[in-house]
Structure 1
């Protein structure tokens, strides 16, 4: 009711609302509950996926694996290959299988002691292109019309996926010691077995571009449940991976350093005075000094060289006679 005693709803609207509430109450047996409602048990924390922060180590490992994939693929491609790692995704296994084309190369490996398996998925067009390039062809990917791989493609697939999984084991070596072993290979996603259809998996995709050819996708699929024991290590362990050395950048830095100016000094003598003499010091006092036969050349409190004091073109000068070993490195 408003302050002036009028209802916010009209009489007709208020009557309709009260009628609906009465019907709901009657249908629920007078207790306000909806008949035939279903209550499902739910445990918090069991159905949710791992957060991106807890799997952040996979992103660092993917960058290292991308460099390894490049070294595995380039001998087959016969040209420079660009490999870019995409951010990993977490999804249900059934949904991932539904997104795959009807014909793909799906290789199942064990990565002991990691529980479960690991899948390596490669597009068939990429396999055909690599076989063509390996035997001297153009290596241009074409639409794969056949529904099965040739024996030659099968052999190349074996070498390719073995190399990929060796790289996976290598990047995981920062977490623990893992040993890959081949289990089986499928071409139909419906027959790919890794976990139950309703269980989540982590998908790490790599975009592979050989030379000027067509880009293809190589994917590594982990069961999320097998990664849970290593989540804390993946999140906490930041690996110092300097990556490849940029020679041009190092050259520019070295040239720039050669033009840095540093103050250089030399000490001609180091006489010693008592505290009483220092306290009585006044203008006009004479302190006798004895010049050493050799004086040091000092840079940043480090003795760089030794020499003798002389004269050149009317100015006092130091002639360097000895350079300390290791100071110029």
Structure 2
């Protein structure tokens, strides 16, 4: 290298002027640095959120079986797309009194928070003990003993489904760390830290759906991002096979009407017009009668008796190939 610059000071200033950069700013060093949150989780979106959405869809199906014994009815559970927000933003929307359960998710980093609205708990208690399960306009600052017992059982069932679904990605068993009713004491993450929010809308009866929320610190999901991405690719590859399996199962459950014809007597029009109660029409039964579906024979069999009822014993299956 040489001690002399390739461009003169005047040439450098001319180039900077063409780029819209003030030369005096370079000389005085007046460029203002912009703050950048090094290591900030919001700077890079989580690429595996679609995998979490798929897990939530499966979890929604499992939650129906968990909630049904309490609601005394088959609820409808829908999973909303996962949202990512700062934890303090989510906290600001929560009521002063609600059910908040904090769990460890070892070996995952961080933990998990389960939020259940108290109105939903009261409705389940009412339905469980024979009531209508309709909303009750009652402001409360604490749960009753019956609500606490049901809430404990409900939370255990919900968290059990979480562990079951997560086992396909990273085997973990959620362990209860604390249970709170004041959002100020739910220390899942620092206020500015982002969290992934999974929402499940639960509806039964005539009331409006209730929302159950499960929160994960985004940092905890970062630690298993590669496993989530692998699960997403695996699900995408198996989606065609799964679709075929479900279609095959649905087709096999379709009900069709089958009938058999014992005899086909022939009558003239005049004989048909003279028919009266008590007339006897002679028929001859064939050795084997057909089993018909949509007018097409699918099998042949003999008429007999089974458990005191007339029955058809299949003797021969017709060719099942589709017509050309």
Unaligned runs of 5+ in 2: 1-23, 258-314
Matched, 1:122 2:119: no
Matched, 1:105 2:93: no
1:119-164: CA deviation from partner (whole Å, max 9, x where unpaired): 1101110000000000111101223401111111111111111111
Larger radius of gyration: 1
Q: Aligned partners of 1:51, 1:146: CA distance in 2, in Å?
A: 39
1:62-107: CA deviation from partner (whole Å, max 9, x where unpaired): 0110011111100000011000000000111111101112211111
- Say whether the 8 Å CA contact 2:108–2:223 is kept in structure 1: no
Matched, 1:77 2:71: yes
Aligned to 2:183: 189
Matched, 1:149 2:143: yes
From 210, 233, 243, the counterpart of 2:204 = 210
- Say whether the 8 Å CA contact 2:76–2:204 is kept in structure 1: yes
Q: Aligned partners of 1:144, 1:70: CA distance in 2, in Å?
A: 26
Q: Aligned partners of 1:49, 1:67: CA distance in 2, in Å?
A: 33
Distance 1:65 1:322, change over 3 A: closer
Distance 1:96 1:157, change over 3 A: same
From 32, 35, 49, the counterpart of 1:40 = 35
Q: Aligned partners of 1:142, 1:52: CA distance in 2, in Å?
A: 40
Distance 1:69 1:41, change over 3 A: closer
Number of equivalent positions = 234
Distance 1:322 1:203, change over 3 A: closer
Q: Aligned partners of 2:34, 2:43: CA distance in 1, in Å?
A: 23
Unaligned runs of 5+ in 1: 1-24, 257-320
RMSD in angstroms over aligned alpha carbons?
3.3
- Say whether the 8 Å CA contact 2:103–2:176 is kept in structure 1: yes
Aligned to 2:192: 198
SS of residue in 2 equivalent to 1:179: coil
**If the length of structure 1 is used for normalisation, what is the TM-score?**
0.63
Aligned to 1:64: 58
Distance 1:148 1:69, change over 3 A: same
**If the length of structure 2 is used for normalisation, what is the TM-score?**
0.64
Shift of 1:211: 2.9
